[in-house]
Chains A and B, each alone.
Chain A
Amino acid sequence: MGSVDYDPEELIEAYFERGWSDGLPVVPPTEKSIAAMLAGAGLRGDETIGEVVERGVIVSAEKLAINAVMAGCRPEYLPVVVAAVRGLCHPHFAYHGPASSTGGSAMVLIVNGPLAGRLGVNSGNNAFGQGARANATIGRAVRLVMMNVMNTRPSFLDRATLGTPGKYSFCFAENESEHPWEPLHVERGYRPEQSAVTVYASNSLCQVYNQLAAAPEPLLRCFADVLCNLGTPNLRGFNQSLVVFAGEHADTLRRSGWSKQDVRRFLLEHARRTVADLKRAGRRPGEIEPGDETTWKHAFERLEDILIVCAGGQAGSWSACLPGWGNKWTRSVTIPIDTRGGPP
């Protein structure tokens, strides 16, 4: 805590100068706003939220709250930030790889359950875009914690070659009211009335367009094609991807009667390349040999490595595929949100 008095404008510059910002102006914290933030999650400042063992980093509630204030969060958002940071610290997430690698991943936060609606986490139109404070600031708070507490600073322990704009913030809610199936957190063992956040590392986002297909098979062929494009990471094994169905695509699947597993089976079967394709693109070593043109390699080994959620507006023929880090390096983690701080 510094003891120098600053004007508000100077204070914002002081956070920039010390390298404590993500490149955007931060909201300068005060004792009052930090206390209010902690109260939003019913936390004491000295509580431990999580630990990144390999970095010797402990995330305290106080530091979490300071970063959440800086990000522009309202106090009632803090339970979501806490759950997301616990997800980052979970051994299955294996933080160091996705946080540090040249792949430059966004930490995608998928919020489920009634809390999402109460906090105004956008699940509808422009769910991945700008305009919703909860989406923008929850994701930003998590990134600031990564930078300031977990030492994940660009060119230091964040070695992203390009990175992605999603590294500023990437948080959205599932559109549970128009979902063709059970939402993600229910699929993962939580009750519908519970709230949870899923943390998933992804280095890119490809929107999938199809305005004509009115049945699952032709529609899903577009997704399968995107999921196995030759530049996809982990195409040689361990692949894990997130598929976000929106609008008319979700409606087509709902009306078809296909289950989530049916969709996964179709994608697993059709997301594949020939060995010859992979060799021509240098994704496998060696010369093309007889049989390579008819020998297929599937992009996924297991159905559960295709994560399916629904979000976005009702209108439009757009969905998205977000390639992940693969099940070997990191796994998406779903953490229940503790709202012991009280309403909402």
Chain B
Amino acid sequence: MKLFDPTSTPRERAITLAPRLRDLRGLRVGLVENTKFNSDVILAKLGERLARQHGMTVSRMIRKRSPSHAVAEEAADELRRISDFVVSGVGD
């Protein structure tokens, strides 16, 4: 009798990292809130600190439907348009 492998290997995807930022001064930061408890609080504080320390502005905080859902396409497009970089946070 033979072994039959019941497993599958996930498809690999190439992910390209965004170029690293050289200077934080005056950048626009987008925030992605994942709906976990206190995620919005942590991100808001982070936004305040980035503004205070690096002169950044928070372009927008968007709220995902849930932690396990992707950012909605429309919201992602908007963030791309109005932000230099984005922070996604997890609370709990």
Cβ B69 vs Cβ A94 within 8 A: yes
Cβ B1 vs Cβ A63 within 8 A: no
Taken together as a complex, chains A and B put the C-alpha atoms of A327 and B35 apart, in Å, by 13
Cβ A57 vs Cβ B10 within 8 A: yes
Cβ B8 vs Cβ A5 within 8 A: no
* Stretch of A8-16, A82-90, A170-178, A239-247 at the chain-chain interface: A8-16
Asked whether B11 is an interface residue with its Cβ less than 8 Å from the other chain, the reply is yes
Query: Which A residues are CB-close (under 8 A) to B68?
Result: 54, 94, 96-97, 100, 329-330
Query: Which A residues are CB-close (under 8 A) to B70?
Result: 54
B1 contacts which of A8, A34, A66, A70 (Cβ < 8 Å)? Answer: A8
Chain A: residues with Cβ within 8 Å of the partner, total of 40
B contact residues, range = 10 to 19
Query: Which B residues are CB-close (under 8 A) to A54?
Result: 68, 70
What is the 8 Å Cβ interface bit string for chain B, positions 52-81, against chain A (1 contact, 0 not)? Answer: 000000000000011111100000000000
Cβ B35 vs Cβ A149 within 8 A: no
Query: Which B residues are CB-close (under 8 A) to A328?
Result: 35, 65-66
Query: Which residues in chain B, 1-55, are within 8 Å of chain A measured between CB atoms?
Result: 1-8, 10-13, 35
Taken together as a complex, chains A and B put the C-alpha atoms of A5 and B3 apart, in Å, by 8
Taken together as a complex, chains A and B put the C-alpha atoms of A108 and B14 apart, in Å, by 35
Cβ A144 vs Cβ B35 within 8 A: no
Cβ A63 vs Cβ B3 within 8 A: no
Cβ B10 vs Cβ A151 within 8 A: yes
Taken together as a complex, chains A and B put the C-alpha atoms of A7 and B2 apart, in Å, by 9
Question: Shortest CB–CB separation between residue A292 and chain B, in angstroms?
Answer: 20
Cβ B65 vs Cβ A14 within 8 A: no
Query: Which A residues are CB-close (under 8 A) to B11?
Result: 56-58
Cβ A6 vs Cβ B7 within 8 A: no
Cβ A67 vs Cβ B6 within 8 A: yes
Question: Shortest CB–CB separation between residue B40 and chain A, in angstroms?
Answer: 13
Query: Which B residues are CB-close (under 8 A) to A96?
Result: 68
Query: Which B residues are CB-close (under 8 A) to A29?
Result: 4, 6
Cβ A56 vs Cβ B2 within 8 A: no
B6 contacts which of A31, A70, A151 (Cβ < 8 Å)? Answer: A70
**A-B contact list, 6 entries, CB within 8 Å:** A2-B5, A4-B2, A7-B1, A28-B1, A31-B2, A56-B13
Apart from A54-B68, A148-B8, 5 more pairs, CB < 8 Å? A1-B5, A60-B8, A67-B6, A148-B7, A149-B6
- Measured CB to CB, the residues of B under 8 A from A are 1-8, 10-13, 35, 65-70
